Amino acid sequence: MKISFLLLLVFIVSCASPKSESDESTDTPPPEEATPVTVDEIGDPPLTDPKTVVDYFNLLRWKGMIDPFVLLERGDKWVCIEDAGSEFNYEGSLDAVRHYPSIVDIKNGYIQIEDEGTGGGTLSYTEVALFRKSDKSYLIALNRYGLDEITHIISGDTPRFYQWENNELSEVTTEVFPKTSLSLFFKEDMEPIESPYYFTLPQVGRSIEYHIQLNDPAQKERLKTNKINIQFDSGQDKFVFTYP
């Protein structure tokens, strides 16, 4: 009887004991955190030796930084169309796809694309421009702004700047472009007014224009200028403020 009682006691204790580390490892492990997919993991770049503004445009498009516009050279001019997918014959007729008004200036390193969207009265503009640095490489500028055709107000955001190095496209905006403020437009004794603003890239030249939009004549009296030039200094490889 004593032996039977001891065997029963051992069995009860072993069933009630906590899991060992080896037992724990047999359980289903907790799900790992998903690794975020970065733009560098999209795939290989479409080209590794960009030379023209269209090449750099295609690198920005590859990174998803530009809407899916497609630039095609037809004869002695360029056309901009919508991305019709990989199965579309881009060498054939383009009559069935949407076209966008555009400027493609290879010589001066400038692209502008106009998009009216769904036709609701807002025109969106995308600009790409190249600025040659002191080492002969390029600084790539990407800019967007929009025009409301009803209110005639133009508004945008600060341009972004990139460089292509070692088969990588990296952003360098904070390194090459000065901080901007609406206070730069107003007289020293005037309180700045929150207003729409926008930038335009140059098709010719080295100066980016910074604009403010004030429609009220009384508010315009507060301004010392409605346009500021921000010029690329190739000696410093960055932009500096100048005034017209």
Residue in 233, 184, 232 with CA at minimum distance from that of residue 207: 232
Residue 110 structure tokens: 């400038």
d(CA 13, CA 7): 10
d(CA 132, CA 206): 9
Residue in 159, 148, 174 with CA at minimum distance from that of residue 209: 159
Higher pLDDT among residues 156 and 47, named by residue: 156
What pLDDT was estimated at residue 3? 42
Residue 20 structure tokens: 């060992």
What pLDDT was estimated at residue 244? 57
Q: How many CB atoms lie within 10 A of CB 201?
A: 23
What pLDDT was estimated at residue 137? 96
Average pLDDT, the chain: 84
Query: Are the C-beta atoms of residues 230 and 243 closer than 8 Å to each other?
Result: no
Q: Which residues of 46-84 are buried (b: 16+ CB within 10 A; e: fewer)?
A: eeeebeebbbbbbbbbbeebbeebbbeeeeeebbbbbee
d(CA 113, CA 67): 10
Radius of gyration of the chain (CA): 29
Surface-to-core class of residue 6, CB atoms within 10 Å of its CB (0-12 exposed, 13-18 middle, 19+ buried): exposed
Max CA separation in the chain (angstroms): 108
108: helix, strand or coil: coil
Is pLDDT at 162 greater than 50 in this prediction?
yes
Residue 12 structure tokens: 């009860």
43: left (phi over 0), alpha (psi -120 to 50) or beta: left
Is pLDDT at 40 greater than 90 in this prediction?
no
What are the residue ranges spanned by the domains of the chain?
A: 41-242
Adjacent-strand bridge partners of 63: none
2: helix, strand or coil: helix
Reported pTM:
0.80
Half-sphere exposure of 209 (CA within 13 A, CB side): 15
Residue 85 structure tokens: 């997918």
What pLDDT was estimated at residue 182? 94
Query: Are the C-beta atoms of residues 141 and 65 closer than 8 Å to each other?
Result: no
**Average pLDDT over every residue of 40-52:** 76
Is pLDDT at 30 greater than 90 in this prediction?
no
**Average pLDDT over every residue of 211-233:** 93
**Average pLDDT over every residue of 172-181:** 97
d(CA 240, CA 182): 16
